[in-house]
């Protein structure tokens, strides 16, 4: 009951001085609105960035065959040379021992040894470019089998991987089988020719991409009609294609079913005919597009085996892996790196590495969060300024109501009652300012996010913290004026003019 009366008295006091109350709240309103607005825009930007990068495969794992660094190459070659030297030295000792026995036998029969045979099997450098083990030597060292992922071609140094250095489809399938519990899909692709698909009146720019079945899952393609490429299409190298809805609307319009329709792709040096088996929904890379529909170039997906017919390399330099949802991507990436290191252990020139963008995504998110918090902290300074304004007005209010305080104390009001009255009034002022600030901040955040092209994101936790902080300011900055009012001598207060 006592609290209710204090609230009613505080509200009545605010109504009697509306302008002063509004100006008192202004610092709180601006402070709360600034914090919520900044955090809302920051959250919208972070959410948009995370969504865009995830749609681009930020959590996918990329495997890439690349040239070894100088240190890695030297370590690999030294290890191979050391192994070959030890083996040849062992053979030399055994051969020398056999020849010595043969020589002693001949000498006992009166024959002079002309050739001990040790020099023939002595440990010289195997044939190969620059003292590097040649392919034959590496076969011998590995039991006659070529190293996985290529033989590590010798001779002239080159940063361009040869076909034998790349990963074969069999090796990729073996990898998927070995990690079947972790891998959801594997995407391999090969860029083809760019060209135009034409009809009688218009055309659509396309870029041909050879893909496998797993490409759809890894790239998160959404089908509008028909189906995606099947394993039967891949194995048979069929002339079928999956096209975008943008191409369909330009070439066929809305009244023709595009499925099983033939299209011709006109490139600079040839014309290719494909049968449409599916239509996917076009999405601009990163969620933004600056090209008009008239000049837009979309991907046209065909079996990778068709593209490989004219490709220089028949094997694969890079491919992407989509891990299952419950798999820790970073840990799995490390496991893949170990597997690939063993696979390419005997390749002197090239190595395969696994990497992902998850750590970069986490770093960018953390950086943007830090920036938003820093800006919010700066904006929060206005809350302190607003609290000082509340204290100032409450001190003025204590002075104005000195006789009222004296009368209440003379009628039996305790000091705690007087103190509570002014604290409640301060809390009411800051709470109303906090509510108005929250509404203004949400509006400013929505406008700012929309202006920057991001979806509005509201954090209930930030709203709760802001409102709680405004009430804390009311208690903190209202306590001193309330204490001063409670300590007034009732006789002196009644004399005050």
- pLDDT at 123 > cutoff 60: no
**Would you say 217 and 276 are in contact if contact means Cβ atoms under 8 Å apart?**
no
Look at residue 8 in the predicted model and tell me its pLDDT: 83
pLDDT in tens, 473-487: 888 888 888 888 888
pLDDT in tens, 211-247: 999 999 999 899 999 999 999 999 999 999 999 999 9
Cβ neighbours of residue 449 closer than 8 Å, sequence gap 6 or more = 40, 41, 44, 455, 456, 457
pLDDT in tens, 148-190: 333 333 333 346 778 889 999 999 999 999 999 999 999 999 9
Distance (Å, whole) CA 44 – CA 36: 12
Look at residue 291 in the predicted model and tell me its pLDDT: 62
Locate 93 and state its tokens: 């000792």
Distance (Å, whole) CA 256 – CA 469: 62
- Tell me the CA distances in angstroms from 235 to 167, 219, 316, one per residue in order: 18, 21, 17
Closest CA to 433 of 476, 392, 389, 400: 389
Whether the CA torsion 450, 455, 459, 462 is positive or negative: it is negative
Look at residue 64 in the predicted model and tell me its pLDDT: 92
The model's confidence at residue 12, banded by pLDDT at 50, 70 and 90, is: confident
Q: What is the SS3 assignment for 135? A: helix
Written as one string, the DSSP assignment of 249-261 is: HHHT-SSS--TT-
Look at residue 75 in the predicted model and tell me its pLDDT: 52
- pLDDT at 72 > cutoff 70: no
Q: What is the SS3 assignment for 199? A: coil
Closest CA to 402 of 338, 289, 491: 491
Look at residue 142 in the predicted model and tell me its pLDDT: 36
- Average pLDDT of the chain is 78
Distance (Å, whole) CA 236 – CA 216: 19
Closest CA to 395 of 474, 471, 482, 475: 482
pTM > 0.85: no
Tokens 């002196």 label which residue? 492
Tokens 């001990």 label which residue? 116
pLDDT in tens, 34-55: 888 888 888 888 777 777 766 6
**Would you say 88 and 122 are in contact if contact means Cβ atoms under 8 Å apart?**
yes
- pLDDT at 313 > cutoff 60: yes
Cβ neighbours of residue 318 closer than 8 Å, sequence gap 6 or more = 62, 63, 64, 65
Tokens 């804390």 label which residue? 472
pLDDT in tens, 438-450: 999 999 888 888 8
Residues 84-112: what's their mean pLDDT? 45
Q: What is the SS3 assignment for 410? A: helix
Q: Specify burial of residue 72 (Cβ count, 10 A radius: 0-12, 13-18, 19+).
A: middle
């Amino acid at each position: 009951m006592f609290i209710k009366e204090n609230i009613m008295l505080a509200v009545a006091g605010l109504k009697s001085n509306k302008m002063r109350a509004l100006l008192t709240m202004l610092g709180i309103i601006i402070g709360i609105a600034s914090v919520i607005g900044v955090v809302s825009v920051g959250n919208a930007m972070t959410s948009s960035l995370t969504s865009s990068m995830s749609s681009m495969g930020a959590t996918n794992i990329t495997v890439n065959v690349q040239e070894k660094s100088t240190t890695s190459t030297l370590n690999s070659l030294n290890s191979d040379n050391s192994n070959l030297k030890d083996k040849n030295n062992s053979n030399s000792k055994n051969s020398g021992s056999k020849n010595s026995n043969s020589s002693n036998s001949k000498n006992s029969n009166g024959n002079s040894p002309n050739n001990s045979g040790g020099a023939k099997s002595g440990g010289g450098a195997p044939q190969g470019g620059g003292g590097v083990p040649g392919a034959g030597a590496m076969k011998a060292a590995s039991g006659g089998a070529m190293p996985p992922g290529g033989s590590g071609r010798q001779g002239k140094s080159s940063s361009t991987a040869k076909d034998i250095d790349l990963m074969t489809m069999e090796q990729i399938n073996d990898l998927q089988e070995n990690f079947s519990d972790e891998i959801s899909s594997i995407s391999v692709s090969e860029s083809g020719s760019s060209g135009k698909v034409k009809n009688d009146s218009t055309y659509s720019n396309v870029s041909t991409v050879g893909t496998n079945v797993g490409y759809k899952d890894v790239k998160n393609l959404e089908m509008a009609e028909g189906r995606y490429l099947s394993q039967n299409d891949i194995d048979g190298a069929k002339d079928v294609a999956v096209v975008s809805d943008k191409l369909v609307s330009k070439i066929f319009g809305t009244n023709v079913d595009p499925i099983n329709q033939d299209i011709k792709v006109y490139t600079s040096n040839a014309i290719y005919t494909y049968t449409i088996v599916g239509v996917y929904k076009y999405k601009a890379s990163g969620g933004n597009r600056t090209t008009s529909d008239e000049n837009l170039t979309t991907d046209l997906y065909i079996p990778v085996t068709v593209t490989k017919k004219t490709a220089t390399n028949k094997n694969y330099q890079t491919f992407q892996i989509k891990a299952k949802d419950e798999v820790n991507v970073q840990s799995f990436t490390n496991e893949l790196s170990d597997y690939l290191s063993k696979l390419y252990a005997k390749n002197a020139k090239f190595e395969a590495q696994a990497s992902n963008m998850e750590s970069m995504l986490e770093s960018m998110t953390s950086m943007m969060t830090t920036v938003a918090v820093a800006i919010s902290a700066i904006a929060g300074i206005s809350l302190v300024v607003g609290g000082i304004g509340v204290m100032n007005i409450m001190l003025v209010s204590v002075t104005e109501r000195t006789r009222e305080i004296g009368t209440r104390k003379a009628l039996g009001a305790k000091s705690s009652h007087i103190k509570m009255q002014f604290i409640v009034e301060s809390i009411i002022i800051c709470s109303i300012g906090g509510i108005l600030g929250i509404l203004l901040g949400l509006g400013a955040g929505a406008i700012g996010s929309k202006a920057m092209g991001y979806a509005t994101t509201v954090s209930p936790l930030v709203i709760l913290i802001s409102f709680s902080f405004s009430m804390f300011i009311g208690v903190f900055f209202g306590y001193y004026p309330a204490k001063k009012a409670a300590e007034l001598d009732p006789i002196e207060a009644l004399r005050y003019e």
